[in-house]
Chains A and B, each alone.
Chain A
Amino acid sequence: MLELKNLTVQYGAITALQDVSLRLDRGEIVTLIGGNGAGKTTTLRAISGLLKPRSGSIWYEGNDITGRPPHKLVAQGLAHCPEGRMVFANLTVLENLRMGAYLQRDRRVIEKELEFVRSLFPRLRERESQLAGTLSGGEQQMLAIGRALMSQPRCLLLDEPSLGIAPLLTQTIFEKITELNRVRGLSILLVEQNANLALAVSHRAYVIECGRILLSGPASEVKSNPQVRDAYLGGG
């Protein structure tokens, strides 16, 4: 469904990604783990069109989407829930969700999606008329995911959903992620610092370090790899 072929991205003279190739099949959760500055977020930003790659190509549902602007990709069912949540703090929760369905003109479809998001995150329903800036970090993360879902994506790029969130809420959010994958068949490319958590919900994993893919394989294999255990799983 999504494939990166030899992707290289540079910020000025600094190479952020070097020759990265990876694949996400339909119905899969694939996680990209790695340390700070390894290139995880850069990978997602290049896929969704926020960054222009230096070389290489990105394929989505059989089409070359390299360099296509983000708003066009949303229309094709590729949603990106960005790092740091980026909810519109000056808009209400409901307005944020409606903006998620910006390209959808059919009101019934919008209402149906709204109901779905409300049932997924009941907490948001209680806060609908509040400004998004007044929500807690965990609620903002729910809102960011809900907003991304409003565009009815077939593929979701999810960046650090556990960042700065209470452990209990992190648990809830990860349960919802697996639920979305199981029930809706949503394909998810997950970037996560908390490798334990990410590997537990994923089918496959890639380990990225200094802008290169170090190793990849089924989540269970990656989890038991001694190198990965030492570097990312706290030696456990």
Chain B
Amino acid sequence: MTELLQQVINGLSMGAIYALIALGYTMVYGVLRFINFAHSDVFMLGAFVAYYTARAFGRWGFVMGGYLGGIAILLLSMTACAVVGIVIERLAYRPLRRRSTLTVLITAIGVSLLLQNGGQLVFGVNPKAFPDIFPSSTLNLGGLVINSNQLVVLGVAIALLSALHWIVQHTRIGTAMRAVSFNATAASLVGIDTNRIISFTFGMGSALAGAGGVLYAMNYPSIEPLMGNSPGLKAFIAAVLGGIGSLPGAALGGMLLGFVETGVSGTRWSTFRDAIAFAILIGILLFRPAGLLGRNRVEKV
């Protein structure tokens, strides 16, 4: 029983991170119908921005290790990533707006390689130890071991998911996002500047990826410029699993994948963790090609 609960907690915090990244993939897909492969590298940048900010805060004598400091670092990382995401879209993708999806996809791979290699050049290739940006302690509840960071991950993820849901469902710009994702031509005919909505979408998705990067680094305390690859791929799977283009789908897919992974890790087949995750993906897509919550071209973003 304790074992099971333990896995549930581990799965929740892993799944929450996948969910945050998966949302970015699915949002961009919703408005532009392509997979932004550079997304996982924005995730990596989030972790690095947090790393350098934490060091700078320390040097300037700010109170470190408190919750306020942690939140400040998190928000700064998210803002930086939002800017990076918007700039990437403006420079790399917007000039290709009328080209085929394949052209944009290959460009996205190029941007991804640029960020990875640029990261190795600027940050160095050696893994760096990620500092405790939130107060870290281990709670022991009757055999159940919970790291306080896992709770922070969950809290932050829930807060961000709620905020996103509110923005998309209840604000003018969120409604415009849904409109653009359904039909960009019709959206422009009611006066929506689709380019601005696309920028906004990239900004939001990238901010979530940045937050994901920081949270990931907190639980796997070393970071390096290629760290985005594996979680990025997993989050992409999560987005497809949930139904690409569907926001609740991405959140559900991320959580599901987190559970499966940690669940398998706890058994004697732990070395097959990734294989099992992929097998489930293939299985679900065989029976539901649109993903779990994908409704074949309806209800996008």
Contact present for B191 and A91 (CB under 8 Å): no
- Bound complex: CA A148 to CA B188 (Å): 12
| B178 / chain A contacts, CB cutoff of 8 Å | 88, 90-91, 95
A67-103 interface bits toward B, Cβ cutoff 8 Å, 1 = contact, 0 = none = 0011100110001101000111111000100111011
Q: At the interface with chain A, which of B59-67, B179-187, B275-283? A: B179-187
Whether the Cβ atoms of A88 and B182 lie closer than 8 Å is: yes
From the candidates B188, B190, B299, name the one contacting A100 in the complex (CB within 8 A). Answer: B190
Contact A99 B298 (CB under 8 A): no
Instruction: Scan A51-63; emit 1 where CB is below 8 A from any B CB, else 0.
Output: 0000000000000
Q: How far is the CA of A79 from the CA of B190 in the complex (A)?
A: 7
State whether the Cβ of A202 lies closer than 8 Å to any Cβ in chain B.
Answer: no
Q: Contact: B191 with A89, CB < 8 Å?
A: no
Q: Which residue of A lies closest to B194 (CB)?
A: A71
Q: Is the CB of B186 within 8 A of A88?
A: yes
Q: Which residues of B contact A103 (CB under 8 A)?
A: 191
Q: Mark B241-260, 1 if CB is under 8 A from A, else 0.
A: 00000000000000000000
Contact between chains at A133 and B190 (CB < 8 Å): no
B190/A99 in contact, CB under 8 A: yes
B157–chain A nearest beta-carbon distance, Å: 25
Q: Mark B154-196, 1 if CB is under 8 A from A, else 0.
A: 0000000000000000001001101101110111111111100
Task: Tell me if A154 counts as interface (CB < 8 A to partner B).
Answer: no
Instruction: Tell me, yes or no, whether A43 is within 8 Å of chain B by CB.
Output: no
Chain B: number of interface residues, binned into ranges = 20 to 34
Q: How far is the CB of B12 from chain A (nearest CB, A)?
A: 30
User: Given the complex, which residues of B lie within 8 Å of A151, measured CB to CB?
Assistant: 190-191
Question: With the chains together, A61 CA to B159 CA distance in Å?
Answer: 49
Q: Cβ of B39 < 8 Å from any Cβ of A?
A: no
Q: A66 at interface (Cβ–Cβ under 8 A)?
A: no
Complex CA gap A99/B182 in Å reads: 13
B300 contacts A by Cβ under 8 Å: yes
Q: Are B190 and A147 in contact (CB under 8 A)?
A: yes
Which residues of the other chain, B, contact A150 by a CB distance below 8 angstroms?
190
Contact A88 B298 (CB under 8 A): no
- Residues of A within 8 Å of B, CB-based: how many? 27
A187: interface (CB < 8 Å): no
Tell me if A48 is interfacial: C-beta within 8 Å of chain B. yes
Q: Identify the closest chain A residue to B196 (Cβ).
A: A71
Task: Tell me, in angstroms, the Cα distance from A82 to B185 when the chains sit together.
Answer: 9
Tell me the minimal C-beta distance from A47 to chain B in angstroms.
Answer: 11
B175 A86 Cβ-Cβ under 8 A? no
Contacts of A86 in B (CB 8 A): 183, 185-186, 189
**A residues near B183, Cβ cutoff 8 Å:** 86, 88
B227 to chain A, nearest CB (A): 35
Q: A86-B185, A88-B179 are in contact. Are A102 and B298 (CB under 8 A)?
A: no
Residue A50 at the B interface, CB < 8 A?
yes
In the bound complex, residues from chain B placing their C-beta under 8 Å from that of A100 are 190
Q: Are A133 and B298 in contact (CB under 8 A)?
A: yes
Does the CB pair B176–A90 fall under 8 Å?
no
List of B residues within 8 angstroms of A79 by Cβ: 189
A-side contacts of B191, CB under 8 Å = 70-71, 74-75, 102-103, 151
Q: B175 to chain A: which residues have CB within 8 Å? A: 91, 95, 98-99
B192 and A91 contacting across the interface, CB-CB below 8 Å: no
A89 touching B182, Cβ below 8 Å: yes
What are 18 residue pairs bridging A and B, where the CB atoms are less than 8 Å apart in the complex? A50-B188, A70-B188, A71-B192, A71-B193, A74-B190, A75-B191, A79-B189, A88-B178, A88-B187, A90-B178, A90-B299, A91-B175, A91-B178, A98-B175, A102-B190, A102-B192, A150-B190, A151-B190
Given A71-B193, A90-B178, A102-B190, 20 more A-B residue pairs with CB atoms under 8 Å apart are: A50-B185, A50-B188, A70-B189, A71-B191, A71-B192, A75-B191, A88-B178, A88-B179, A89-B298, A90-B181, A90-B298, A95-B175, A98-B175, A99-B179, A99-B192, A100-B190, A102-B172, A103-B191, A133-B298, A148-B189
Measured CB to CB, the residues of B under 8 A from A are 172, 175-176, 178-179, 181-183, 185-194, 298-300
